[in-house]
Amino acid sequence: MTKILNVKNLRKTYRSGTKDLTVLDGITFDIEEGETFAIVGPSGSGKTTLLGLCAGLDQLDEGTIELCGTELNTLNEDQRALLRNKKVGFIFQNFQLLPTLTALENVSVPLELQGAPDAAKEAKDLLEKVGLVDRIDHYPSQLSGGEQQRVALARAFSTKPSILFADEPTGNLDEETGEKVIKLLFQLNKEMGTTLVIVTHDLDLARLTQRVIKLKGGKIVGNQSETLV
């Protein structure tokens, strides 16, 4: 199998007052194409920082990250943005929909940026898949949290990304709504053959993935299923 993400000896440090705070230290793992993968750990363990680095949203201090066959260390900010636009999808805890755009427009925008000739039709088809075809003209403020996250799912998959990063995708949802969103997430992921990386503190959600790593204090302290006991 081809490795879609390869992380070696990753280290990230932030300046805090007069001291350096090491958030990630010596992180090494890889993910194969089409795999579902979870990163778990307590608050402050470095999960979201790790996701941001792997997706090229931030720059590492030491080590290497190879994403979709390209070493991120060799790219400038514009080049990393181009790689993300072509290969990467995102789902966030707080949805991050554009408030002045309708559900249909929120999903259409990434497609239009890629020059899709039938962006509106593709967006509508995706919204139908997530059960929101009757809400396409509604703005985010007119949608419930669960509906907003379903729009975010449709948007994330709209460009058929090679890899999708989901940061606490059910963090702002109640249990029942969260379960419905996760079912849709895995359903769309399987249908499109996307590699899925989920950052979560929810061990039940992590158990749904094929592989798990556990972070604590910026280090990997467990692999596979034994992290969840």
Do the strands 3-16 and 62-67 form a parallel or antiparallel pair, or are they unpaired?
antiparallel
Give the pLDDT confidence of 155-191 residue by residue, as tens digits. Answer: 999 999 999 999 999 888 899 999 999 999 999 999 9
Residue located via tokens 């948007």: 155
| 32, containing H or E segment | strand 19-32
Cα distances (Å, whole numbers) of residue 224 to 106, 186, 198, 211: 36, 19, 14, 5
Residue 229 predicted with pLDDT over 50: no
Tokens of 79: 């080049």
**Eight-state DSSP code of residue 76:** -
Give the pLDDT confidence of 50-84 residue by residue, as tens digits. Answer: 999 999 998 888 999 999 999 999 999 999 999 99
The number of angstroms, rounded, from the C-alpha of 224 to the middle of its chain's C-alpha atoms is 20
User: How far, in Å, CA of 87 to CA of 163, rounded?
Assistant: 7
Domains belonging to the chain, first-starting first, are 35-59+83-228 (3.40.50.300)
Residue 184 C-beta-side C-alpha neighbours within 13 Å: 27
User: How far, in Å, CA of 199 to CA of 167, rounded?
Assistant: 5
How high is the pLDDT of residue 63? 93
